[in-house]
Chains A and B, each alone.
Chain A
Amino acid sequence: MTDLTQAQVRERIEKGLASRHRKEKLFRGLGIGSIAFGILAVVILFTDIISKGSGAFVQTAIQLEVHYDQQVLGIDKVDDESLTWANFTGVIRQSLRDRFPSVAGRSDKRELYTLISSGAPFTLRDRLAENPDLLGKSERVWLSADDDVDTFVKSLKDSKEGFRGRTSDQKAGWIEQLLESGELKKRFNTTFFTNGDSREPEQAGIRAALMGSLFTLLVTLALSFPIGVAAAIYLEEYAPKNRWTDLIEVNINNLAAVPSIVFGLLGLAIFINFFELPRSAPLVGGLVLTLMTLPTIIISSRAALKAVPPSIRQAAMGMGASRMQVVFHHVLPLAMPGMLTGAIIGMAQALGETAPLLMIGMVAFIVDVPTGVTDPATVLPVQIFLWADSPERAFMERTSAAIMVLLSVLIVMNTSAVLLRKKLERRW
């Protein structure tokens, strides 16, 4: 073959151009498609959760004329002892029978009683405890409806028929009657934020789980931040370059990628079985999450220390400061914003973690709001996991609502980390 002339080459190039540009467009399209897929996933995920969960922030309530009848209650004065034994359920049933006088027959009556939440008697008890004068008198009170009623009422706006589930035609009739007369309304669901877990969806709330998360995070923060920063300081400012520090470094990087559930196994075997710390306690949860977030915090703290220019260290050393003084007086304050950002991100990671906490028993059914780090508790993600397993439709709504709360907290944490970084970031 002789040398191709430039003209021949030109011709050959021109021939291939169209298909090459097509491929280019295709490739570019694939890129855009991938981005779009990711963004679409975000949008679908969030709309799905929000559409499922927004309903849980309102709750159906029924207004009843309640007569605090001494006879039905079985008490004659209001004190702690008598309130404990008083039959508020009877009072509510009486009111329901009065409201629907036409209902007769045992089974129909029993169905009538299921309009009101089984937690309503406690509402009445609290009211009476606050106003002892009410004894023997009547008042109109809004009481939480049962979750089936709640689900049915909420589904009415989607379709004429509504989601019936266990709701019979008869019951649906009563509900419509109450709705028309204005004795049934949807109100803000305070229960969701003030109660602990419950078997009854309308009484279930996230307060206990939120407090559990708070205590767990406090333990995690109190341990992982100082330890992480100290480790970073040692590795970045002191450690000689040798095999030992290499080992620590490889170790930290590896730990950052170890599955979280393995940390749960560690917590179970060491903290619970060996040290016999209490099961289900935020203390143990915090310890496990500390070990889990430590690599993240160490890595980000080291990055923050690295970003402080050596000239500052040299300047301080030149003034005769000891190494410790250089670090604590000069380097650390400058690196603090970066370290705090890393800590917030680590905490956000810990807040969303579920699997290792299942291992150490934070999955128990816990109604009481924990008051300390050794009380049995659960955390928000675990609460979501537990509710997601419950068959009631009303729980699905609450699960999504709990997710919305969790995501909001996470968004706040992450945004503040970003803002903190932006605000305090220093360019050298």
Chain B
Amino acid sequence: MQTPTLFALLLLLILVAYGTGFRRAVSTARSLGGVRNLAALPSYYGLYTALWCGLPALILLGAWLVFDDAIIRAMVLNSIADKPEMISGQNLLYAQIQNLAAGHLIGEKSPELQSAADYFSLLRSRSNNLQAFLSLVLASGLAAFALLRLSPKLRAREKVEKVLRIALIACACAAILTTVGILLSVLFESLRFFQSVPVTEFLFGLHWSPQMALRADQVGSSGAFGAVPLFTGTLMVSAIAMFVAVPVGLMAAIYLAEYASKRVRSLAKPILEILAGVPTVVYGFFAALTVAPFIRDLATSVGLEASSESALAAGLVMGIMIIPFVSSLSDDVINAVPQSLRDGALGLGSTKSETVRKVVIPAALPGIVGGVLLAVSRAIGETMIVVMAAGLAANLTANPLESVTTVTVQIVTLLVGDQEFDSPKTLAAFALGLMLFISTLVLNFIALHVVKKYREQYD
């Protein structure tokens, strides 16, 4: 039986279970003289039955779907394990077997392969049948069990709510699971990477050319995994972005919060926020095709050497992207500064700008710093703009007109396209991912903490 049909069937069973439970409760209630004699409303009895019917069966089905491929694969490969000529290249071999079983393999078919494919088909169909059989039996069996347990004294509502509550908790834990998942996925691959390339070399090496290391004999000895040029490139692009975004964003926020009339504010704010809603790939396109050539032409016209992919173009556009981020965060913290402080300063005869510069900004400083840190973390993790506009060459340079590469660019280039998952080149991407994750996590953590403390101060 196909999986969608099975799902439909299960769903039907669940509905039937609900209906039966509901009607049983209603009829019991009638013989007792009204619903008030039940421990819960009839619908809860229905839900109770439906949960017994559906939940275990669905869990079983889910587990089956997750694990059956791996088990079948192991069994098929195991069945041909004694034929040494087929041991190497398991992935390819297995794909061939699958194709053969599906009936669209073009090319020669060895008898071993054919028998493996037959075995695969057999297992596949058995697995499907077993899965359908087990889940349907489980569902109907448990539904019957639940119906037997129905009685006017059964506190169905509490039991249903308990299950719901557990489901809610599980959903709330999804965030934790995500973090754990990120940590596990980058940590393990990174550890494997650091087995072949020493940590110190990765952190302090000055040369980055992962392509060199494709040859097995060179791994770890070529010195091609020194990530310093990536770090400096990332820092330079982020610094340029901050150089644009922080003053512009901050001044815009100050103007909107302290000077602008309601009308101007209600017009300018949404326009600035458009910048935040534009997808990064659009900025990347803009940076690569409009800003970078413009900067190159400009530099050439004043006699400077400029690469067509420059840190400046990427940084500039990234800065524009981050302006609304900085301005809305600063706007929040500036508005949190109590009006009484402004009144105090104005009452002494300060001009508006003196009030802002000498009283409001110093008072809002922790919050602003927190916002800027969040913006830095965003700039470091930004990918598409730098992938499209900053370039691939791992130059160790301080010239913003040259092309640089960043951590995120390298992650993308190392992982896009087909690779063996075990090569150090691929693993290096995870090591870079680990660096990225740790640094942004630390920045976020500090920033959120600072902002929280700041808010508490004026609450």
Contacts and interface: CB of A to CB of B under 8 A. Distances in A.
A and B, direct touch (CB closer than 8 Å): yes
Interface of A: 13, 20-21, 23-24, 26-28, 30-35, 37-39, 41-42, 45, 48-49, 52, 226-228, 230-231, 233-235, 238-239, 247-248, 250-255, 257-263, 265-266, 268-270, 273, 275-276, 291, 294-295, 298, 322-324, 348, 351-355, 358-359, 363, 381-382, 384-385, 388, 396, 399-400, 403, 406-407, 410, 414
A23 B353 contact: yes
A23 B408 contact: no
A301 B331 CA distance: 23
15 contacts: A24-B353, A227-B174, A230-B171, A231-B174, A251-B176, A255-B178, A262-B186, A262-B437, A262-B440, A269-B186, A295-B175, A355-B383, A358-B412, A384-B282, A407-B282
A269 B416 CA distance: 14
Contacts of A20: 351, 354
Contacts of A28: 255, 259, 352-353
Contacts of B186: 262, 265-266, 269
B174 A294 contact: yes
A384 B327 CA distance: 28
A234 B171 contact: yes
Nearest to A279: B418
Contact of A270 (B181, B279, B377): B181
Given A38-B252, A254-B445, A384 B381 contact: no
Given A251-B179, A258-B440, A42 B171 contact: no
Contacts of B383: 259-261, 354-355
A21 B352 CA distance: 10
Contact of A261 (B66, B271, B433): B433
Contacts of B436: 259, 261-262
B274 interface: yes
Scoring B66, B157, B277 by chain A CB atoms within 10 A of each residue's CB, the highest score goes to B277
List the 4 closest pairs (A to B, CB-CB), nearest first.
A259-B381, A31-B255, A352-B279, A269-B185
B416 A273 contact: no
Interface in B309-358: 320, 323-324, 327, 349, 351-354, 356-357
A384 B387 CA distance: 13
Contacts of A34: 247-252, 255
A385 B384 contact: yes
A358 B259 CA distance: 44
B392 to A, nearest CB: 12
A45 B251 contact: no
The majority secondary structure among interface residues of chain A is helix
B450 interface: no
Scoring A38, A45, A234, A352 by chain B CB atoms within 10 A of each residue's CB, the highest score goes to A38
A261 to B, nearest CB: 5
Given A31-B254, A275-B66, A239 B172 contact: yes
Contact of B255 (A32, A248, A358, A396): A32
B437 A255 contact: no
A24 B421 contact: no
Contacts of B430: 265, 269
Contacts of A250: 445, 448
B299 interface: no
B72 to A, nearest CB: 11
B178 A294 contact: yes
Scoring B281, B429, B437 by chain A CB atoms within 10 A of each residue's CB, the highest score goes to B281
A42 B448 contact: no
A261 B412 contact: yes
B363 interface: no
Contacts, number: 259
B50 to A, nearest CB: 16
B213 interface: no
Contacts of B411: 261, 265, 359
A388 B384 CA distance: 12
B178 A42 contact: no
A239 B429 CA distance: 38
A255 B252 contact: no
B250 to A, nearest CB: 8
A268 B414 CA distance: 13
Nearest to A230: B171
Contacts of A30: 251
A248 B277 contact: no
B378 interface: yes
Contact of B284 (A273, A385, A414): A385
Contact of A406 (B250, B275, B282, B288): B282
Contacts of B354: 20, 24
Scoring A39, A265, A323 by chain B CB atoms within 10 A of each residue's CB, the highest score goes to A265
Contacts of A270: 181, 184-185
Contact of B441 (A27, A45, A226, A254): A254
B408 A259 contact: yes
Contacts of A275: 66
Given A276-B69, A355-B384, A42 B275 contact: yes
A254 B185 contact: no
Nearest to A388: B285
Given A28-B259, A227-B174, A384-B282, A254 B179 contact: yes
B437 to A, nearest CB: 5
A381 B169 CA distance: 34
B444 interface: yes
A403 B172 contact: no
A231 B289 contact: no
A190 B312 CA distance: 39
A235 B172 CA distance: 7
Nearest to B452: A253
B93 interface: no
Contact of A257 (B175, B189, B286, B440): B440
A355 B385 CA distance: 10
Nearest to B380: A259
Scoring A48, A355, A410 by chain B CB atoms within 10 A of each residue's CB, the highest score goes to A355
Nearest to A295: B175
A230 B168 contact: yes
Contact of B285 (A21, A230, A403): A403
A277 B285 CA distance: 31
B36 to A, nearest CB: 13
